Amino acid sequence: MTPFDYHRPETLAEAFRIAGAIPGARYVAGGTDMMVRIRSGRERPGALISLGRIDTLSRIELGSVTQIGARTTIGQVLEHPELTAAYPLLALAARPFASVQVRNLATVGGNVCNASPAADMAPVLLALDARVEIEGPQGTREVPLDAFFKGPGQTDLAPREVLTSIVLEPPRPEARSCFLRRSRVGMDIALTSVAVHFQLAGNRLTRPRVAAGAVAPCPLRLRAVENLLEGRAVDAALLDEAARLAEGEIAPITDIRASASYRRRLTSTLVRRAITAACEESR
Protein backbone atom coordinates (compact mmCIF):
# COMPACT_ATOMS: atom_id res chain seq x y z
CA MET A 1 0.00 0.00 0.00
CA THR A 2 1.48 3.37 -1.03
CA PRO A 3 1.64 5.76 1.96
CA PHE A 4 -0.69 8.76 1.89
CA ASP A 5 -1.49 11.71 4.13
CA TYR A 6 -4.70 11.69 6.15
CA HIS A 7 -6.52 14.96 6.85
CA ARG A 8 -9.36 15.51 9.31
CA PRO A 9 -10.96 18.89 8.62
CA GLU A 10 -13.72 20.18 10.91
CA THR A 11 -15.57 22.22 8.28
CA LEU A 12 -16.60 21.72 4.69
CA ALA A 13 -14.72 24.87 3.67
CA GLU A 14 -11.51 23.34 5.00
CA ALA A 15 -12.26 20.05 3.24
CA PHE A 16 -12.74 21.88 -0.08
CA ARG A 17 -9.47 23.76 0.45
CA ILE A 18 -7.49 20.56 1.07
CA ALA A 19 -9.18 18.81 -1.86
CA GLY A 20 -8.18 21.69 -4.12
CA ALA A 21 -4.59 21.78 -2.86
CA ILE A 22 -3.64 18.08 -3.14
CA PRO A 23 -3.87 16.38 -6.54
CA GLY A 24 -5.64 13.02 -6.28
CA ALA A 25 -6.98 13.68 -2.76
CA ARG A 26 -10.12 11.66 -2.02
CA TYR A 27 -12.85 12.02 0.58
CA VAL A 28 -13.49 9.16 2.95
CA ALA A 29 -16.36 8.60 5.40
CA GLY A 30 -16.49 5.13 7.01
CA GLY A 31 -13.78 3.80 4.71
CA THR A 32 -15.46 0.41 4.24
CA ASP A 33 -15.33 0.71 0.46
CA MET A 34 -12.36 3.06 0.16
CA MET A 35 -9.96 1.04 2.31
CA VAL A 36 -10.77 -2.17 0.43
CA ARG A 37 -9.96 -0.41 -2.84
CA ILE A 38 -6.72 1.05 -1.47
CA ARG A 39 -5.55 -2.29 -0.08
CA SER A 40 -6.27 -4.02 -3.40
CA GLY A 41 -4.31 -1.35 -5.29
CA ARG A 42 -7.36 -0.19 -7.26
CA GLU A 43 -7.14 3.22 -5.61
CA ARG A 44 -3.96 5.25 -4.95
CA PRO A 45 -5.16 8.51 -3.39
CA GLY A 46 -2.91 11.56 -3.19
CA ALA A 47 -4.32 11.94 0.33
CA LEU A 48 -7.45 10.98 2.21
CA ILE A 49 -9.74 13.69 3.56
CA SER A 50 -11.89 12.29 6.35
CA LEU A 51 -15.43 13.67 6.63
CA GLY A 52 -15.62 12.22 10.14
CA ARG A 53 -15.20 15.47 12.09
CA ILE A 54 -17.65 17.57 10.09
CA ASP A 55 -20.60 17.43 12.45
CA THR A 56 -23.08 19.09 10.09
CA LEU A 57 -22.93 15.91 7.98
CA SER A 58 -24.32 13.64 10.69
CA ARG A 59 -27.66 15.23 11.60
CA ILE A 60 -31.01 13.48 11.16
CA GLU A 61 -33.98 15.88 11.03
CA LEU A 62 -37.62 15.04 10.45
CA GLY A 63 -39.64 18.11 9.54
CA SER A 64 -41.34 19.55 6.47
CA VAL A 65 -38.77 17.41 4.68
CA THR A 66 -36.53 14.76 6.19
CA GLN A 67 -32.77 15.26 6.09
CA ILE A 68 -30.40 12.37 6.66
CA GLY A 69 -26.83 13.63 6.95
CA ALA A 70 -24.46 11.85 4.56
CA ARG A 71 -22.22 10.71 7.43
CA THR A 72 -25.09 8.90 9.20
CA THR A 73 -24.03 5.29 9.59
CA ILE A 74 -26.21 2.34 8.69
CA GLY A 75 -26.19 1.50 12.43
CA GLN A 76 -27.44 4.99 13.32
CA VAL A 77 -30.33 4.57 10.88
CA LEU A 78 -31.36 1.42 12.74
CA GLU A 79 -31.01 3.13 16.10
CA HIS A 80 -33.33 6.02 15.15
CA PRO A 81 -36.89 4.85 15.97
CA GLU A 82 -38.63 7.92 14.53
CA LEU A 83 -36.77 7.60 11.24
CA THR A 84 -37.41 3.89 10.82
CA ALA A 85 -41.06 4.27 11.87
CA ALA A 86 -41.51 7.01 9.26
CA TYR A 87 -39.63 5.09 6.54
CA PRO A 88 -39.71 1.33 7.27
CA LEU A 89 -37.90 0.75 3.94
CA LEU A 90 -34.71 2.22 5.42
CA ALA A 91 -34.71 -0.35 8.20
CA LEU A 92 -35.48 -3.18 5.78
CA ALA A 93 -32.30 -2.35 3.86
CA ALA A 94 -30.17 -1.51 6.91
CA ARG A 95 -30.97 -4.60 9.01
CA PRO A 96 -29.38 -7.26 6.75
CA PHE A 97 -26.53 -4.91 5.75
CA ALA A 98 -23.15 -6.64 6.30
CA SER A 99 -22.30 -7.06 10.00
CA VAL A 100 -22.54 -4.96 13.16
CA GLN A 101 -18.91 -3.90 12.71
CA VAL A 102 -19.46 -2.73 9.12
CA ARG A 103 -22.81 -1.09 9.94
CA ASN A 104 -21.09 0.98 12.65
CA LEU A 105 -18.68 2.47 10.09
CA ALA A 106 -20.49 2.37 6.74
CA THR A 107 -22.36 5.58 5.98
CA VAL A 108 -25.48 6.20 3.94
CA GLY A 109 -23.61 8.87 1.96
CA GLY A 110 -20.71 6.52 1.27
CA ASN A 111 -23.09 3.83 0.07
CA VAL A 112 -24.62 6.26 -2.42
CA CYS A 113 -21.35 7.97 -3.49
CA ASN A 114 -19.59 4.66 -4.04
CA ALA A 115 -22.21 4.10 -6.77
CA SER A 116 -22.05 0.33 -6.73
CA PRO A 117 -24.91 -1.13 -8.78
CA ALA A 118 -25.49 -3.45 -5.79
CA ALA A 119 -25.54 -0.79 -3.03
CA ASP A 120 -28.38 -1.72 -0.68
CA MET A 121 -29.50 1.77 0.30
CA ALA A 122 -29.81 2.85 -3.35
CA PRO A 123 -33.02 1.03 -4.37
CA VAL A 124 -34.83 1.99 -1.17
CA LEU A 125 -33.83 5.64 -1.51
CA LEU A 126 -34.87 5.59 -5.19
CA ALA A 127 -38.23 4.12 -4.20
CA LEU A 128 -38.60 6.90 -1.62
CA ASP A 129 -37.99 9.53 -4.33
CA ALA A 130 -34.87 10.74 -2.50
CA ARG A 131 -32.93 13.79 -3.54
CA VAL A 132 -29.31 14.40 -2.63
CA GLU A 133 -27.95 17.70 -1.36
CA ILE A 134 -24.49 18.47 -2.67
CA GLU A 135 -22.12 21.19 -1.52
CA GLY A 136 -18.95 22.39 -3.19
CA PRO A 137 -16.77 25.48 -3.36
CA GLN A 138 -19.30 27.04 -5.78
CA GLY A 139 -22.34 26.52 -3.53
CA THR A 140 -25.13 24.06 -2.83
CA ARG A 141 -27.38 22.14 -5.21
CA GLU A 142 -29.96 19.38 -5.02
CA VAL A 143 -30.25 16.49 -7.47
CA PRO A 144 -32.84 13.70 -7.71
CA LEU A 145 -31.09 10.48 -6.73
CA ASP A 146 -31.89 8.78 -10.02
CA ALA A 147 -30.00 11.51 -11.87
CA PHE A 148 -27.04 11.21 -9.46
CA PHE A 149 -25.90 7.76 -10.60
CA LYS A 150 -23.96 7.91 -13.87
CA GLY A 151 -22.46 4.40 -14.08
CA PRO A 152 -20.63 1.87 -11.94
CA GLY A 153 -18.57 3.97 -9.48
CA GLN A 154 -19.59 7.17 -11.26
CA THR A 155 -21.78 9.95 -9.92
CA ASP A 156 -22.82 13.50 -10.69
CA LEU A 157 -20.33 14.84 -8.08
CA ALA A 158 -17.75 17.32 -9.37
CA PRO A 159 -14.19 16.72 -8.07
CA ARG A 160 -14.32 18.75 -4.81
CA GLU A 161 -18.03 18.39 -4.08
CA VAL A 162 -19.36 16.57 -1.02
CA LEU A 163 -22.74 14.89 -0.70
CA THR A 164 -24.07 16.52 2.46
CA SER A 165 -27.49 14.93 2.98
CA ILE A 166 -30.27 12.77 1.64
CA VAL A 167 -33.61 14.58 1.42
CA LEU A 168 -36.93 12.73 1.68
CA GLU A 169 -40.51 13.96 1.43
CA PRO A 170 -42.49 13.53 4.67
CA PRO A 171 -44.00 10.07 5.11
CA ARG A 172 -47.63 9.51 4.08
CA PRO A 173 -50.02 7.55 6.28
CA GLU A 174 -51.20 5.28 3.46
CA ALA A 175 -47.68 4.40 2.34
CA ARG A 176 -46.78 0.74 1.92
CA SER A 177 -43.36 -0.62 1.08
CA CYS A 178 -41.13 -3.66 0.84
CA PHE A 179 -37.45 -4.38 0.18
CA LEU A 180 -36.27 -7.82 -0.89
CA ARG A 181 -32.66 -8.78 -1.48
CA ARG A 182 -31.01 -12.04 -2.39
CA SER A 183 -27.33 -12.86 -2.02
CA ARG A 184 -25.39 -16.13 -2.24
CA VAL A 185 -24.48 -16.08 1.46
CA GLY A 186 -24.83 -13.62 4.33
CA MET A 187 -22.21 -10.80 4.21
CA ASP A 188 -22.16 -10.85 0.41
CA ILE A 189 -23.35 -8.08 -1.87
CA ALA A 190 -26.78 -8.49 -3.43
CA LEU A 191 -27.32 -10.67 -6.49
CA THR A 192 -30.48 -8.67 -7.03
CA SER A 193 -32.57 -6.39 -4.86
CA VAL A 194 -35.98 -4.78 -5.31
CA ALA A 195 -37.67 -1.98 -3.37
CA VAL A 196 -41.29 -0.94 -3.80
CA HIS A 197 -43.15 1.97 -2.25
CA PHE A 198 -46.67 3.24 -2.96
CA GLN A 199 -49.81 4.63 -1.36
CA LEU A 200 -52.91 2.51 -1.03
CA ALA A 201 -56.15 4.35 -1.78
CA GLY A 202 -58.79 1.72 -1.02
CA ASN A 203 -57.27 -1.22 -2.86
CA ARG A 204 -55.67 0.91 -5.59
CA LEU A 205 -51.99 1.80 -5.80
CA THR A 206 -51.00 5.42 -6.28
CA ARG A 207 -47.57 6.99 -6.74
CA PRO A 208 -45.96 3.58 -7.18
CA ARG A 209 -42.17 3.45 -7.13
CA VAL A 210 -40.26 0.29 -8.01
CA ALA A 211 -36.47 0.20 -7.98
CA ALA A 212 -33.90 -2.54 -8.48
CA GLY A 213 -30.23 -3.04 -7.65
CA ALA A 214 -27.42 -5.18 -9.10
CA VAL A 215 -29.17 -5.67 -12.43
CA ALA A 216 -27.88 -2.72 -14.49
CA PRO A 217 -24.84 -0.39 -14.50
CA CYS A 218 -26.64 1.78 -11.93
CA PRO A 219 -29.40 1.12 -9.40
CA LEU A 220 -32.54 2.08 -11.33
CA ARG A 221 -36.25 2.77 -11.17
CA LEU A 222 -38.43 0.40 -13.19
CA ARG A 223 -40.62 3.04 -14.76
CA ALA A 224 -42.65 0.77 -17.03
CA VAL A 225 -43.67 -1.24 -13.97
CA GLU A 226 -44.52 1.97 -12.10
CA ASN A 227 -46.67 3.21 -14.99
CA LEU A 228 -48.47 -0.12 -15.14
CA LEU A 229 -49.28 -0.08 -11.42
CA GLU A 230 -50.55 3.51 -11.19
CA GLY A 231 -54.20 3.57 -10.09
CA ARG A 232 -54.62 -0.19 -10.40
CA ALA A 233 -55.85 -2.80 -7.92
CA VAL A 234 -53.46 -5.71 -7.59
CA ASP A 235 -54.52 -9.08 -8.94
CA ALA A 236 -52.69 -12.06 -10.42
CA ALA A 237 -52.79 -10.71 -13.98
CA LEU A 238 -51.33 -7.37 -12.92
CA LEU A 239 -48.52 -9.11 -11.03
CA ASP A 240 -47.73 -11.26 -14.08
CA GLU A 241 -47.52 -8.18 -16.26
CA ALA A 242 -45.39 -6.29 -13.70
CA ALA A 243 -42.97 -9.23 -13.52
CA ARG A 244 -42.77 -9.41 -17.32
CA LEU A 245 -42.13 -5.68 -17.70
CA ALA A 246 -39.45 -5.73 -14.97
CA GLU A 247 -37.39 -8.25 -16.94
CA GLY A 248 -37.45 -5.97 -19.95
CA GLU A 249 -36.23 -2.90 -18.06
CA ILE A 250 -33.02 -4.30 -16.63
CA ALA A 251 -29.64 -5.09 -18.17
CA PRO A 252 -27.99 -7.61 -15.85
CA ILE A 253 -24.54 -9.07 -16.40
CA THR A 254 -23.14 -12.53 -15.84
CA ASP A 255 -20.40 -12.55 -13.21
CA ILE A 256 -18.97 -14.85 -10.54
CA ARG A 257 -22.12 -14.50 -8.47
CA ALA A 258 -24.85 -15.30 -10.99
CA SER A 259 -25.75 -15.42 -14.66
CA ALA A 260 -27.65 -12.62 -16.34
CA SER A 261 -30.59 -14.93 -17.01
CA TYR A 262 -30.79 -15.94 -13.33
CA ARG A 263 -30.76 -12.28 -12.29
CA ARG A 264 -33.54 -11.55 -14.80
CA ARG A 265 -35.73 -14.33 -13.41
CA LEU A 266 -34.93 -13.32 -9.84
CA THR A 267 -35.84 -9.69 -10.49
CA SER A 268 -39.26 -10.59 -11.88
CA THR A 269 -39.88 -12.90 -8.91
CA LEU A 270 -38.81 -10.26 -6.39
CA VAL A 271 -40.95 -7.58 -8.06
CA ARG A 272 -43.99 -9.85 -7.84
CA ARG A 273 -43.29 -10.77 -4.21
CA ALA A 274 -42.42 -7.24 -3.09
CA ILE A 275 -45.64 -5.75 -4.51
CA THR A 276 -47.68 -8.52 -2.88
CA ALA A 277 -45.92 -8.15 0.49
CA ALA A 278 -46.29 -4.35 0.46
CA CYS A 279 -50.04 -4.66 -0.20
CA GLU A 280 -50.35 -7.05 2.74
CA GLU A 281 -48.25 -4.90 5.08
CA SER A 282 -50.28 -3.93 8.13
CA ARG A 283 -49.88 -0.49 9.63
Tell whether residue 77 is a contact of ligand FAD (CB under 6 A). no
**101/116 Cα distance (integer angstroms):** 20
CB of 241 to ligand FAD, least distance (A): 30
Best CA proximity match to 53, nearest among 17, 16, 18, 7: 7
**139/118 Cα distance (integer angstroms):** 30
Identify which of residues 119 and 234 has a Cβ nearer to ligand FAD in the complex. 119
Tell whether residue 102 is a contact of ligand FAD (CB under 6 A). yes
H or E stretch at 209 = strand 204-213
**Per-position x/- string for 46-65, each x denoting binding to ligand FAD as judged by CB under 6 A, each - no binding:** -----x--------------
Identify which of residues 102 and 253 has a Cβ nearer to ligand FAD in the complex. 102
Task: Give a three-class secondary structure readout of 73-96.
Answer: EHHHHHCCHHHHHHCHHHHHHHCC
* Helix boundaries (H) for the chain: 12-21, 34-39, 74-78, 81-86, 88-94, 100-105, 108-113, 121-127, 145-148, 223-229, 236-249, 260-280
Tell whether residue 249 is a contact of ligand FAD (CB under 6 A). no
Query: Residue 194 in contact with residue 212, Cβ under 8 Å?
Result: yes
**Per-position x/- string for 151-180, each x denoting binding to ligand FAD as judged by CB under 6 A, each - no binding:** ------x----xx-----------------
Identify which of residues 6 and 248 has a Cβ nearer to ligand FAD in the complex. 6
- Judged by CB under 6 A, the chain residues 110 through 149 that form the site for ligand FAD are 110-111, 113-114, 119-120
Identify which of residues 98 and 200 has a Cβ nearer to ligand FAD in the complex. 98
Using the contact rule CB under 6 A, the part of the chain among 80-88, 100-108, 247-255, 274-282 near ligand FAD is 100-108
- Which residues have C-beta within 8 Å of that of residue 73, sequence separation ≥ 6? 30, 103, 104, 105, 106, 107, 108
Using the contact rule CB under 6 A, the part of the chain among 26-34, 141-149, 239-247, 265-273 near ligand FAD is 26-34
**Interface residues toward ligand FAD, by CB under 6 A:** 26-34, 36, 51, 70, 97-98, 102, 105-107, 109-111, 113-114, 119-120, 157, 162-163, 187, 189
